[in-house]
A and B are shown apart, each in its own frame.
Chain A
C-alpha cells in the first residue's frame, strides 16, 4: 500500500479509537470519514451527532458541509442548536469530540481564531470557534487529527480557542471542565498523548515512520515515550470502505 495518503492513514487510525456505542460529536471532512469508517467496521452502534442539530445521522452520501441534508434524512432526531449545545453537550451526553485547528500546542490547546499576538489586528484571521470551544471543554474525551508539521505544533498557541490542558494537568479541573480533554492526537507520523503533566508526548509511530521525523516536525522539544508502539498497518478492508464507499471522489482522502 505504497499509495496510502497521509489523510487515509490518519482517518483509519482515528476511526480505531472510537468504541462501539460511543456518542460522537462529528465534524465534516476527515472526522466524518473516521466516524463512518468506525461505524462500518468495529463500531456499528456508534451514534453520530452534528452541531447543526442532527442526532444519529446515517448519511447516504458524503456530507459536504456540516449541515448537509443527507445527515437529516433517516436520522434519529433533529433538534435546535440550543438543544444540541445544552441537552446533549453541556449536560454531558457526548462521549467523543473531534477537533482540529491551525495550531495545537504542547498542552493540547487549540487555536482556530487568529495568527499573531494582537486579536484586534490579526496577521491572519481564522474562522473562529464554531462549536469547538464547548466540545473541547465538555465532551468526555477529545481527539485531534492533523498532519505533523512544525508550524501546526508550536510550543504555545497564539490564541486558545479551545482548551486542552491549559497550563498543564490540573488546569482543566481548576476551570471546572468536565471532560478528559485531548487524550489523543493522530498525525501522519504517529500518535501523541498527554503524560501526567498534560504535555503531549510521542507514544506511537505508524509503520515506517521514525521518532526523529516526529521530533523534527514538532515546535517544542517533543518527548518520546520509552515504550513506543507501532500502529497496525491499514487494512485492505479499511481502505476499500474509505475509497469505494465513503469518499469515491477522494475529496477528503487526498493529501494531508
Chain B
C-alpha cells in the first residue's frame, strides 16, 4: 500500500502541536527538510528529542516551535556552541532533560523493544543522576548490585531520512546508522523522507540493508537533498561551511530571523531551497563514487 505523499502533507497529518518529536540521525542524514516544514507550518509546544540537537533544533527553537528539549550533547558539532538552545536554557526559557549519549540511546532501545526501561552499568558520575530524577537505580535481582535505569522513550513522531525507500516505506540506509532504527521502532508514527524512491525489487535485492520495514511507517516522502547541511553517505557531503556560517548567523536574533525568513519561510519546499542554493553548492558537495563489492544472496 503506497504511503507516498508530499512532505507538507505528512507534516500536517502526523506532527501535532504538543507532540514529542525525534528527528533522527547522528550527524548523518539529519532530516532538515522536515524540520523546515515543521517551522513553516508553525507547530508549537513541541518536545524536541535528539542526542545532538544540532542546527536543526537550534533553528526550530529559534522559530518558536519548542517547549522542551531532551538531549545528550548540545553543541554545533565540530564547530562549538549551539548558541540558540544554549541561550534559551541559560535564560530559563526552555525546559530540558539531559542524559549521556548512552542514556539517551538506551531510552530509545527500551522504547523500540517494548520494554519499560533499560538497565546500564554505573559510571561513578552521579551528578547527572541527581540533576535528572528520570535516571534511577534499581537492584539487579541476580547479583544484588545496583544498576542505573532510564525509562523507555516513545516519541509521538519520528522523522527519519534515508538514502532509498520504496513507496510502502521499506527503507535502505547505510553509513552511520546512529539511532534511526531504534527511533523508528520506538515512535508511535514515522515520517520517512528519502533521497530516492525505488522499486520494491531494489529493496528485496538486498534485504540485510533494510533497517526500517514499511509496516511501521506512516508516510513516505521523496525529498532529495533533505539532509543538507548535514549529509547523505554516497550522495552528498556535509556542508561544513554552513555549520561554520551558522555559528555567526546564530550570534544575534536579527540574523537568525533573516535566515529563517529567507531560507525557510521564503521557499515553498526543498526543491526551491536547492534552487536557491544553486548549482555551485551542489557541485561543491557532490561526492565521487566508491562502491562496495557485490554479495551473493543465492537463488533458492
Contact = CB atoms under 8 A, between A and B. Distances in A.
B20 interface: no
Contact of A160 (B121, B127, B181): B127
Contacts of A66: 27, 77-78
B121 A161 contact: no
Interface string B15-31: 00000000000111000
Interface string A54-95: 100000000011111101111000111110010001100000
A73 B290 contact: yes
A71 B26 CA distance: 13
A131 B121 CA distance: 14
Contacts of B28: 52, 67, 69
A82 B109 contact: yes
A123 to B, nearest CB: 8
Interface string B155-192: 00000000000000000001111110110000000000
Contact of A90 (B90, B121, B130, B238): B121
Contact of B123 (A54, A65, A113, A133): A133
B88 to A, nearest CB: 9
B32 interface: no
Interface stretch (B36-44, B95-103, B200-208, B247-255): B95-103
Interface in A152-176: 159-163, 166, 171-172, 175-176
B73 interface: yes
B233 interface: yes
Contact of B27 (A68, A109, A119, A129): A68
Given A73-B290, A81-B105, A131-B100, A65 B127 contact: no
B28 to A, nearest CB: 5
Contacts of A128: 71-74, 98, 100
Nearest to A110: B125
Nearest to A157: B127
A175 B98 CA distance: 21
Interface string B64-108: 000000011111011001100010011010000011111101101
Chain B interface, DSSP helix/strand/loop, else mixed: loop
B179 A172 contact: no
Given A125-B86, A129-B72, A176-B121, A64 B78 contact: yes
Given A134-B123, A177-B124, A81 B178 contact: yes
Nearest to A171: B124
A67 B74 contact: no
B150 interface: no
Interface in A212-226: none
B128 A80 contact: no
A127 interface: yes
Contacts of A71: 176
B138 to A, nearest CB: 14
Nearest to B86: A125
B238 A82 contact: no
A129 B135 CA distance: 14
A129 B238 contact: no
B109 A161 contact: no
B131 interface: yes
Contact of B176 (A72, A129, A171): A72
Nearest to B131: A119
B120 interface: yes
B182 A82 contact: yes
Given A68-B27, A113-B128, A130 B73 contact: yes
B275 interface: no
B240 interface: yes
A71 B238 CA distance: 13
Contacts of B231: 69
B12 interface: no
Given A69-B233, A81-B101, A85-B102, A163 B124 contact: yes
A124 interface: yes
Contact of B26 (A52, A73, A125, A175): A52
22 contacts: A28-B78, A52-B26, A52-B178, A53-B178, A69-B231, A69-B238, A73-B290, A78-B175, A80-B182, A81-B101, A89-B102, A113-B127, A125-B74, A128-B71, A128-B98, A129-B100, A131-B100, A133-B103, A161-B127, A161-B128, A163-B124, A172-B124
